[in-house]
Structure 1
Amino acid sequence: MNRFISIVAIISGVIFQSLHAQNAILLPISPRSSGMGKTSLNFTDVHSLFGNQAGMAAVEEFGALGMVEQRFLLADLRQAAIGAVLPTFSGVFGLSLRNFGTLDYRESGVGLAYARKLSDRLRIGGQLHWAQINLAEYGSRSFFNLDFGIQAELLPNLWAAAQVRNAIRQEVLTREYTPTVFSAGLAYPLGEKVSLQVELVKDIDFPADLRFGIEYNPSKLIFLRAGINTAPGGWSFGAGLPILENLVFDFAAAYHPYLGFTPSAGIAYRKKK
């Protein structure tokens, strides 16, 4: 009986609270994004693999990253991911592996992404991903889904982006569906050291979330990040620390007004030309 109650509690917490925060069922994970109010639509580095895949089209060299987050500081709500991005003459390919949860409730998934430039001002990308939910004593459920994204330069240095995640709405559990999410945003650099991002994100089942993020690069030794979001309302901060010529250590802490802090950290590698 206690085990059953534990399972029900985990499911309820993960499905309701995480979906309301728009970050369950293997949705974006990135300490860079987490530190910037969850903005990520206009990223153009290896972190695009876990955000808007269209940004991968700007990656010119092989890159890889590994990340982990402790959702709301709960040991049972840990998510980890690894991925790699490979540019080719036919476009940029990406592969990601994800894992979330406990022995009682676990999500795992694999994503295959692709992006390419249609011109110097237009990039497109998408991802086919497979996810599986394992529920102790009740079996498992697996499914495929699709993400699509675009980035376009509207004016010099003013970039716009849009994306749909989990484009195919599917029932995961009884009356619980994959979170189909539509988002659009703008990014603009304030000089060479500061960039601003603003995004509007709408899960079809929940209120729209307006997000703001800023990244400041005062020197080659550090990137400073901060952000806020409106639904349910929260703030975040983080940093990126280049530790070797090809490696950057990223970390962040995001605050949820009802559920508390979610720390995250990761290592990103990018081959230099």
Structure 2
Amino acid sequence: MERVASFSLLILVIIGIIKTKPLDAQNVIGARAVSLGQASTALPNEEWAVFSNPALMSSKNKSVSFFGIRYYGFAELTDMAASVNYPTGWGTLGAGAHRYGYDLFNRSRIRVAYKNSFQLFHYGAVLNYSHVSQGGGYGSAGAVGLDVGIAAVLFKGGWIGARATNINQPNYGNTDEVLPRELAIGLSYQLSDIALLSSDVVKDVRFPISYRGGIEVYIFESFTARAGITTEPVTFSGGFGYESDIWQINVVAQNHTDLGISPGLDLSIKW
């Protein structure tokens, strides 16, 4: 009985989501990026760049990262992800895994990425396998997509980045359900030693343009505070992070104006 009640409430929340603004598994992964209003297309050396813009995967540090965010207090609406970043002498390799949902409905992704650079120009690509499953005997299907990204240094402290997702326009199995396709362009600027600004313009082919922006401020050594905002849907976010030489932790709380607060965190280990 509790399971039926929980499922019914979940359905009501999903209906509310559809009637307000589109929400699926978070396309932007990582507590830092979500804190910055999901403006991550031009964030250099971001641990979760394998999900946002492969051109900005770190060419210096090897890292492994873990992330989780729970939407509006529902365990059934949870994103979980992991990523690996591994620089080599001939480019940077990356991999990521992501799961959204629960046993009656879930989406998962496996991503393999490559990044390289020439002088101040960076480029990367991701091969992405997406799988959707519906419980109760409704079946499952998968699809392979290709994402690409580019980035460049405009001036000292200033970056521009762009990405395109699922450029091959894949469908799940033999269905007519296409994977999300987005075009995004972003700018980031390190104002000083204590502040960074980041902004994105994102267009999903199915939905209106989304504007995103955030600020990161260094409060004291190794500790940062962040805030961000998005449109389509309207969300406000805030968080903080602490970084040492070998590990980093970030915490975020994102507030959807119609649906409420979603807490999340990530942990990265670097060497």
Give the TM-score of the pair, scaled to structure 1.
0.88
Aligned residues with identical type, % of pairs: 25
The more displaced of 227-236 and 170-179 is: 170-179
- Residue 95 in structure 1 maps to residue 118 in structure 2: no
Query: Does the aligned pair in 2 maintain the 1:84–1:96 contact within 8 Å?
Result: yes
Residues 168 and 17 of structure 1: is their aligned pair in 2 closer, same or farther, counting only changes over 3 Å?
farther
Residue aligning to 1:211: 212
Residue aligning to 2:194: 193
Letter in 2 for 1:263: P
Residue ranges of structure 1 left out of the alignment (5+ in a row): none
Q: Quote the Cα distance in structure 1 between the aligned partners of 2:79 and 2:19.
A: 12
Q: Quote the Cα distance in structure 1 between the aligned partners of 2:76 and 2:130.
A: 19
Secondary structure at 1:73's aligned position in 2? coil
1:6 positional shift? 4.7
Residue aligning to 1:265: 265
Residue aligning to 1:129: 128
After superposition, the CA RMSD in angstroms is 2.7
Q: Map Cα deviations across residues 163-203 of structure 1 (whole Å, 9 max, x no partner).
A: 11122323449654211010001111111111101110010
Residue aligning to 1:62: 62
Q: Quote the Cα distance in structure 2 between the aligned partners of 1:18 and 1:38.
A: 22
Q: Quote the Cα distance in structure 1 between the aligned partners of 2:67 and 2:20.
A: 20
Query: Does the aligned pair in 1 maintain the 2:39–2:214 contact within 8 Å?
Result: yes
Secondary structure at 2:72's aligned position in 1? helix
Count of residue pairs brought into register by the alignment: 265
Secondary structure at 2:233's aligned position in 1? coil
Q: Which runs of 4+ in 1 moved over 3 A?
A: 9-12, 16-23, 170-176
Letter in 1 for 2:107: E
1:50 positional shift? 2.3
Q: Quote the Cα distance in structure 1 between the aligned partners of 2:144 and 2:198.
A: 30
Residue aligning to 1:143: 143
Residues 175 and 6 of structure 1: is their aligned pair in 2 closer, same or farther, counting only changes over 3 Å?
farther
Query: Does the aligned pair in 2 maintain the 1:125–1:148 contact within 8 Å?
Result: yes
Residues 18 and 42 of structure 1: is their aligned pair in 2 closer, same or farther, counting only changes over 3 Å?
farther
Residues 71-82 of structure 1: matches in 2 within 5 Å?
71-82=71-82
Residue ranges of structure 2 left out of the alignment (5+ in a row): none
Q: Quote the Cα distance in structure 2 between the aligned partners of 1:232 and 1:154.
A: 30
Residue aligning to 1:31: 31
Q: Quote the Cα distance in structure 1 between the aligned partners of 2:90 and 2:23.
A: 33
Q: Quote the Cα distance in structure 1 between the aligned partners of 2:43 and 2:20.
A: 23
Residue aligning to 1:233: 234
Letter in 2 for 1:233: V
Q: Map Cα deviations across residues 213-254 of structure 1 (whole Å, 9 max, x no partner).
A: 111113223111101112222210011113x53111111011
Query: Does the aligned pair in 2 maintain the 1:61–1:270 contact within 8 Å?
Result: yes
Q: Quote the Cα distance in structure 1 between the aligned partners of 2:24 and 2:118.
A: 30
Query: Does the aligned pair in 1 maintain the 2:143–2:171 contact within 8 Å?
Result: no
1:209 positional shift? 0.6
